[in-house]
Amino acid sequence: MRRIATDMPNADIQYYLRRQEEGLSNMQSQITSGSRIRELRDDPLAASHAVRYESYLARLERFEKNALYASDHYNAAFNYMNEANSVLQRIRELAVTGANGTYSGDDLKLMGVEINELLKELTALSNKVGPDTRQIFAGDKVFTEPFRVVEGTVSGGGENMVVRVEYRGAGASRKTEISDQAYLNLDIGGGEVFWAEKMQIFSSVDATDYRVNAPGAFFIDGVEINVSAGDTLPAIVAKINDSPAPVKAYVDPETRGLVLEGTNAHLIRAEDSAEEPEPRAAVLRDLGIIRGNMENNAPNWNTSARVAGGSMFDMVIRLRDAMFRGDQEFIGSQGIAGMDLALGNLGSRIAEIGSRQERAEMAWVRLNQEIPDLASGLARESSVNMADAATDLKMMQFAHQASLQTAARILPQTLLDFLR
């Protein structure tokens, strides 16, 4: 049974006034923060939905940034590749001009000088840096200049001529996620863009009786290929051909050695797996393809192996040297053919990077449509309706003022009232 005392009205009124003040405080906090959920107990179901919305919204915003970065990256690569295509077209025009037989040897030398300058422009384009200060055509080695130019003296051309261009970049394995479990290959390596011929590596090691002595792995163009103890050369060839690496393998019928051939024009990268933490099979070294792993990302082919298939720069250097020699037959046959190979590969790479850019832009547009819809759902679950909140706040303030006025009238008199 509740005990009735003279202090009971005062206690009750203070209790309900405190509750009204708490409600006012909560409503003011909701209006200030814009969220009607301050604690899970405010609305457990809406709070759980809001957490899922916020998590997915954060992922979509990350995907949007990735797609935008990829689009900008592709755009920079696309522009430089188009410039390289224009330079190659000019070199081919010079090759056609020099092959028609109407120009003297001195004229051909002047064309060779121009080709040498155009070659320098090609190497400058291949070493371009993107807006993020990273090398565009270096693959994963984004802070390494991908192409090293070696200058020297060329017969008939004088000094300060480009005699060799070496690729020091890596393969392109960086990816960016633009949707759940959907990735874009971010980079394109210089060993793909600035190549001309399909590479071939012929080993001179007779591997008829070869057996893998320990389990291990090797890498072809960044693709890991595992081997088991006892694997023979035909088994290794089959594993290479079954892998996604853009290389086909076969056994040379004359030397009985391994032959690797690119399925498209690119620099083949071959490497045995590391020997740590335990000794593993050195398959490519044993088969005479490489003499060690890649040093500074430069190919380290076995000195006894025969390597064929040159880069775009090799084609231009051969053409320029033929100009200096006045070899019109070479210019009209192998010179023009080399330019056609380089232009064909570059054209396919431009189409590839353009397709990636289009996909990135489409993903960005789609994400820009999904994000507002998701934000609307989040607002529906957790945001405050300002019109309703303002009305409720005004009503609560009015009720609180009325409660205070009523309490002043009905509370019993205190000692201070008798001292007046």
Of the two residues 87 and 30, the one the predictor is more confident about is: 87
Is the CA virtual torsion 39, 43, 44, 48 positive or negative? negative
Model confidence, pTM: 0.77
| Class of residue 168 by CB neighbours under 10 A (exposed 0-12, middle 13-18, buried 19+) | middle
Together in a domain, 72 and 92:
yes
Asked if 320 and 116 count as a contact pair (C-beta separation under 8 A), the reply is yes
Instruction: Give residue 16's Cα distance to chain centre.
Output: 62
pLDDT for the residue 374: 77
Does 299 share its domain with 314? no
Q: Any idea how long the chain is?
A: 420
pLDDT at 420: 52
- Position 112 pLDDT exceeds 70: yes
Boundary-marking domain end, from 276, 308, 340: 308
The residue among 69 and 388 whose pLDDT is bigger is 69
Mean pLDDT of the chain: 84
Looking at residue 126, its pLDDT comes to 94
Looking up residue 190, the CATH number of its domain turns out to be 1.20.1330.10
Do 175 and 135 share a domain, yes or no?
A: yes
> Residue 188: inside a domain, yes or no?
yes
For residues 413-418, average pLDDT = 58
| Span 235-268, pLDDT tens digits | 999 999 999 999 999 999 999 999 999 999 999 9
Query: Do 354 and 275 share a domain, yes or no?
Result: no
Q: Are residues 215 and 232 in the same domain?
A: yes
pLDDT confidence bin for 296, thresholds 50/70/90: very low
Q: How many domains does the chain have?
A: 2
Residue 181: predicted pLDDT: 86
376 pLDDT higher than 70: yes
CA atoms within a 13 Å half-sphere pointing along the CA-CB vector of 69: 17
Residue 379: band (very low, low, confident or very high) from pLDDT cuts 50, 70, 90 = low
> Does 85 share its domain with 143?
yes
Site of tokens 């205190």? 414
Q: Kindly give, in sequence order, each residue whose CB lies less than 8 Å from that of residue 334, ignoring residues fewer than 6 positions away.
A: 318, 322
Same domain? For 58 and 181 the reply is: yes
Residue that finishes a domain, picked among 308, 329, 348? 308
What is the C-alpha separation between 215 and 279, in angstroms, rounded? 9
One domain, residues 248 and 168 = no
Phi/psi class of residue 67: alpha, beta or left (left: φ > 0; alpha: ψ in -120 to 50)?
alpha
Summarize pLDDT for 307-347 with one digit per residue, the tens: 999 999 999 999 999 999 999 999 999 999 999 999 999 99
CATH code where residue 249 lies: 3.30.70
Tell me, yes or no, whether 191 and 204 share the same domain. no
Residue 170 has pLDDT above 50, yes or no: yes
| Residues 214 and 272 grouped into a single domain | yes
In a domain, 208, yes or no: yes
pLDDT band at 45 (very low <50, low <70, confident <90, very high): low
Q: Which domain holds residue 284?
A: 200-308
Which of 268, 292, 308 represents a domain boundary (last residue)?
A: 308
Is there a contact between 292 and 300 (Cβ–Cβ < 8 Å)?
A: yes
E strands, 258-386, are 258-262, 270-272, 306-308
Q: Is residue 118 part of a domain?
A: yes
- 69 close to 176: Cβ distance less than 8 angstroms: yes
The verdict on 161 and 69 lying in the same domain is: yes
